[in-house]
Structure 1
Amino acid sequence: MPRLLRPLTRAVTYTRWLHVLVGAVVPFACALVYPGLNDPSPGDWLLIAVLPVPLALAAAMVPPVRRAEGLQARLMLFAGPHARGGREQDPGVSTDSSTTWNDRVRTGAWLVLRLEAGLALALVTNALMSFTLALAGAGAEDPGLPLLPHMSDAGRLYVLLTPVPVLVLVLVAAGAGALVARAARRLLGPSVKERLAALEEHTERLLERDHIARELHDTLGHALTLAVVQAGAARTAGDPEFTDRALEAIEETGRDALEDLERVLLVLRETGRPAGTGPALDQAGRLLDSARAAGSRVDAELTGQLEDLPGPVTREAYRMLQEGLTNVLRHAGPVPIRVRVAVEGAWLRIDVRNPLPATTPPAGAGGGTGLRGVRERAALLGGEARTAQAGGEWLLLIDLPCADLG
């Protein structure tokens, strides 16, 4: 019983009731013109139900009508944010204008349903409310007078029965509203094209989040690794001059990391301001200087027109080189590093080598996210990233296509 009476306490029951009843406005307006509402016969009611259908189908041909109906349905047929139990996660009703004939046909079916359901519920509402008033009048022993204080036993029984038609009416309205809400999902729901567009948008958001996660990992991981290595080297050296250089390098690395972090946060905040672009491979010198400041001897060779690389390639290549150097410092410490970056025809090749440490496991052996992220970045660009051991060295080899150099 409590479950049966639950619709009585839900606001959405009454908004749905109102939404369905509004659909009866057009049939009654047409009925005032023809055949009239003066004691209509069953045939007249059938005519009243049929006459507005061509108008509804004609209105469905107008693209913005679907948007208007979708907005009304979302507002009136589904629970809002302050409803008991919370807002429904996804009403499944589109708020876009019609773009295809399938959209128009479904909108037409929805408008016809609104007309007929509204007319039917209006007649049921009128009948049950009239019955309620009749019971109240019978309880007063005079159907034409208001309720009197002195009633017979039969009159008291009629008064006790008065709420029953009202309760039945609310339950009927709740059931009709639930059925109309379900029909709204089917007739006003997203088309296949809209579902594909929503899926693509969702996929783009996931890719953007993944990209942001990689940016944060690369930027903060690189800065923290350099800071830890430089601080440890400064403490071990015990040389004030070396300590000053290490602190200066830590400060510069931290400042660069804060700039990159602010750029990434602009995207997360969705402020509408341009987030800018990340560092490019022609700025790789600061990565090499950071590694040198951490105590590593870096032998670097950069050849080719790095400044002419396509935007996505040069930015992703910078992050891959950054991760490669960070990986060396994190796992092997300040060891000698050989870096080769070259544009060879339609390919960009990056080669990072360092001696294998005697006791520390080789970089990437633990399956960390850093080198896995490098492989994923390379694969997204149509390239390849490999790791290997050869001649007592750990190798990170990256090949990226850059055929857009023209």
Structure 2
Amino acid sequence: MIGVLRPLVRRTTWRRWSHLVVGGALLMPYWFLSVSLTPLIPIGNPYVVLVLSLVVLPTAATLVTGLVPTVRMLETSLARELLEGPAKDLEPGPARSWESRGRTAAWFSLHLAVGVVISGLSLAVPPFAFVALLAPVVRWDEQFIDAWGWRGDWPQWPGPLIGLGSLVALLALIVAAGALLSRFAPVFLGPSAAERLAAVEARAVKLAERNRLARELHDSVGHALSVVTLQAGAAGRVLDSDPGFAREALSAIEESARAALEDLDHVLGLLREDPSRPAPQATLKDLGRLLEQTRIAGVTLDARIGPEVEAVPAAVSREAYRIVQEGLTNALRHAGKVPVRLRLGVAGDRLEMEMSNPLGAARGAGADHGGGRGLGGVRERVTVLRGEMSAGPDGERWCFRVSLPLRSGS
């Protein structure tokens, strides 16, 4: 008995019943219209007229209505809010293809047809059950009993069982219809294959943009913090003995921090979709300042930069600058203030870069034994430009090599 009554107290049962009743209410205008138009059709058979007015014309009208693109948005919102279960994951939106419109039309017609059945039974069964429950104990008027098809010589003791049975059957029908509609809603109202593909592509674009922003933030701010840490340590050690160098280091710290704040402001502007934030466009032309800041941090840097690198295409120049920046950051974090050798130049139609530092060097104040995301970000940049990259021990040195084509087709 408890199992039978449990659906009565479930919120889901009555929310789904509300969805069905809405479907029944929506069908009423179609019925009124078909009943008004059917007499205009020259058909003499009353049974055919009845089927036309109550079934054929309303069904055809609901199917046509379901083809309207916005019907899918309305039905999806209604199913998501009231049917719950599998329908809760539906995303409201208009039908953008004829395939989606066809499925929506079928769902709209099904929703209204099932809804009108449940609505009619919800109106008829409770009064019938009430009369049946009270039949053995109430002396009903003979005319009223005749209206229900009962006669005075009929036994009335089964009345309560019939009444309870009809209520239980109605409840079971409501639960079953609601559950079936919830299960089939994603089939009829869910995204088509083209819509799923478009959603996947949009998500891929969004993830790519997020990864790009993460790379920019990691490379610019991460490098600035690494350099500032070493510069501050170097300035503190020689503050009394070499105040000139200390002032130079503090000036470099200020410049590095300001550049990092500009990059951070740009990235935050992109996250807020603020178009007024100009994008930082550091290129290989700005490489001298980057190398000077690294030297002020106390790093012995042997850099040979070919003059032709300033003429490489802008897209390659911007990515190459970030790659050099991350290579220096990687050396500072994981090796400390060790001698770093950098070779950068153009060979044929490719930009070649090699950066190396000794293995097994004593760790400086800025050394970091932990791993990071730097090389992963560099690999992503290199992949986008269809270049080549290698990183790892080479004899007694750790080498980092990158080769980028100057033209996209190379």
Q: TM-score, normalised by structure 2?
A: 0.77
RMSD: 3.9
> CA distance change for structure 1 residues 292 and 69 in 2, over 3 Å: closer, same or farther?
same
Is 2:110 the counterpart of 1:108?
Answer: no
CA deviations over 1:319-372 (Å, ceiling 9, x no partner): 2111101122223333443333334443222222334453459x9997643223
**Counterpart of 2:96?**
98
CA deviations over 1:157-176 (Å, ceiling 9, x no partner): 98999787556545532332
**Counterpart of 1:67?**
73
What is the distance in 1 between the residues matched to 2:250 and 2:168? 78
Segment drifting more, 177-186 vs 13-22 = 13-22
Residues 93, 185 of structure 1: 8 Å contact kept:
no
**Counterpart of 1:32?**
35
What is the distance in 1 between the residues matched to 2:216 and 2:345? 24
1:124-143 alignment runs, 5 A limit: 124-135=121-132, 138=135, 141-142=139-140
Residues 299, 340 of structure 2: 8 Å contact kept:
yes
1:295-306 alignment runs, 5 A limit: 295-298=298-301, 299-304=303-308, 306=310
- How much does 1:68 deviate? 3.7
What is the distance in 2 between the residues matched to 1:180 and 1:45? 28
> CA distance change for structure 1 residues 404 and 277 in 2, over 3 Å: closer, same or farther?
farther
**Counterpart of 2:354?**
351
Q: Aligned letter for 2:213?
A: I
> CA distance change for structure 1 residues 106 and 344 in 2, over 3 Å: closer, same or farther?
same
**Counterpart of 1:196?**
197
What is the distance in 1 between the residues matched to 2:310 and 2:5? 72
Residues 141, 155 of structure 1: 8 Å contact kept:
no
What is the distance in 2 between the residues matched to 1:309 and 1:254? 28
Residues 90, 190 of structure 2: 8 Å contact kept:
yes
1:246-395 alignment runs, 5 A limit: 246-268=249-271, 270-273=272-275, 275-281=277-283, 282-298=285-301, 299-304=303-308, 306=310, 309-311=313-315, 313-360=316-363, 368-390=372-394, 392-395=396-399
CA deviations over 1:98-137 (Å, ceiling 9, x no partner): 323x223212221221232123223322321331453477
Is 2:379 the counterpart of 1:401?
Answer: no
CA deviations over 1:65-110 (Å, ceiling 9, x no partner): 333433343344338xxxxxxxx8952355132323x223212221
> Unmatched 5+ residue regions in structure 2?
40-45, 145-154
CA deviations over 1:228-257 (Å, ceiling 9, x no partner): 212222233343332222222222212221
What is the distance in 2 between the residues matched to 1:73 and 1:89? 6
**Counterpart of 1:151?**
none
Segment drifting more, 253-262 vs 293-302 = 293-302
> CA distance change for structure 1 residues 2 and 288 in 2, over 3 Å: closer, same or farther?
farther
Is 2:61 the counterpart of 1:55?
Answer: yes
What is the distance in 1 between the residues matched to 2:274 and 2:80? 28
How many residues end up aligned between the 2 structures? 382
- How much does 1:379 deviate? 1.9
Q: Aligned letter for 1:99?
A: S
Larger radius of gyration: 2
What is the distance in 2 between the residues matched to 1:317 and 1:91? 44
Residues 93, 184 of structure 1: 8 Å contact kept:
no
> CA distance change for structure 1 residues 181 and 241 in 2, over 3 Å: closer, same or farther?
same
What is the distance in 1 between the residues matched to 2:369 and 2:232? 26
- How much does 1:388 deviate? 4.7
Q: Aligned letter for 1:227?
A: V
Residues 27, 49 of structure 1: 8 Å contact kept:
no
- How much does 1:195 deviate? 0.6
- How much does 1:187 deviate? 0.9
- How much does 1:140 deviate? 5.7
SS, match of residue 24 in structure 1: helix
- How much does 1:29 deviate? 1.9
Is 2:250 the counterpart of 1:244?
Answer: no
Q: Aligned letter for 2:391?
A: T
SS, match of residue 89 in structure 2: coil
Q: Aligned letter for 2:329?
A: T
Q: Aligned letter for 1:236?
A: R
What is the distance in 2 between the residues matched to 1:126 and 1:353? 84
Q: Aligned letter for 1:334?
A: K
> Unmatched 5+ residue regions in structure 1?
80-87, 146-153
1:160-199 alignment runs, 5 A limit: 169-199=170-200
